[in-house]
Every structure is written in structure tokens, then in C-alpha cells.
Amino acid sequence: MEIGLLGGPDKNRVYGLSNTTADNLRTARNVSTVGSFQYKEFVALQQCMAHLTERYNHLSVEYTQLKASHTQQRAESAQQKVTYEQLHEVVMNMAAQSGTCAFNPFWPYNHQPPSPGSPPPPPAPPLY
């Protein structure tokens, strides 16, 4: 075995043993080395798989929380829209019933052009 380790023409020859025994020793040594490498690789893959599974579970929980938050925000937005529409309707009904709401040229939502022959609207108040 020592001569085989040095290299040269007698490399991988075992002296003093039968050819069958020498072949079995060589095969066993190679299998042991390959098996050890495969085991280490297997352990590394198991660790990587455990890490990826943990990361997946974390992201899955995060996604579920974000989805719930988004659903809640959409519901709140829809409720705000309904509330706005109800408030708008109340204000419009009050204005129609009281008849005291005069035309305001500075209110952009009910801006109407002046009728022909009417005086121009007053200038806008200064901005401070």
C-alpha cells in the first residue's frame, strides 16, 4: 500500500495479498470516500432544504397578513366612498330645500359662467 501511495509504475499495486483481496481493498476505500462525500452533500442539502422551508413558511405568513391588510383597506375605502356619497346627498338636499345657497364663483364644483350682460365676478381673495 505504501508503494502505491508514492506513485510511479507500481501505483495501486498491493504486495503480499492476493489480487482479489487487493481489488476488494481498493474498491472499499473508494466507496468509503465517495460514500462520505455523498453523505456530506446529503447533509448539506438537508440543511439547505430546512432553511428554504423555514423561509417559505415565513413568507407565507407575511403574504397572508398583507392580503388581510389589503382586504381591510379596500373595505375601509368602500365605506369611505359610501359615507362621502351620503354626505354629499344630504348637503345637496339641504341646499335644494333651503334655497339660500347663492352662486359662489370661488367654489370650483358649481362654477358656472356668468350670463351675458351680468357684471363680472369679484376678484379672488388674496392668498396668505
pLDDT tens digits for range 87-114? 888 888 877 776 555 555 555 555 566 6
The percent of residues in the chain predicted with pLDDT above 90, rounded, is 34
Please state the rounded mean pLDDT for residues 27-35. Answer: 56
> What is the value of pTM for the model shown?
0.39
* Residue 19 contacts residue 33 (beta carbons within 8 Å): no
Q: In terms of C-beta density within 10 A (0-12 exposed, 13-18 middle, 19 or more buried), how is residue 125 classed?
A: exposed
Q: Give the per-residue pLDDT at 25.
A: 59
- Give the three-state DSSP class for 62: helix
Dihedral (Cα; 12, 29, 27, 32), 10-degree rounding: -150
Of 26 and 66, the one with more pLDDT = 66
Q: With bands split at pLDDT 50, 70 and 90, how would you rate the model's confidence at 22?
A: low
Please state the rounded mean pLDDT for residues 54-65. Answer: 95
* Residue 17 contacts residue 25 (beta carbons within 8 Å): yes
Please state the rounded mean pLDDT for residues 33-37. Answer: 65
Q: Give the per-residue pLDDT at 16.
A: 57
Dihedral (Cα; 18, 21, 27, 33), 10-degree rounding: -110
Q: CA 125 to CA 128: how far, in whole Å?
A: 9
Q: With bands split at pLDDT 50, 70 and 90, how would you rate the model's confidence at 50?
A: very high
Which one, of 112, 111, 110, lies nearest residue 92 by Cα? Answer: 110
Q: CA 10 to CA 33: how far, in whole Å?
A: 22
Please state the rounded mean pLDDT for residues 20-37. Answer: 60
Q: Give the per-residue pLDDT at 1.
A: 44
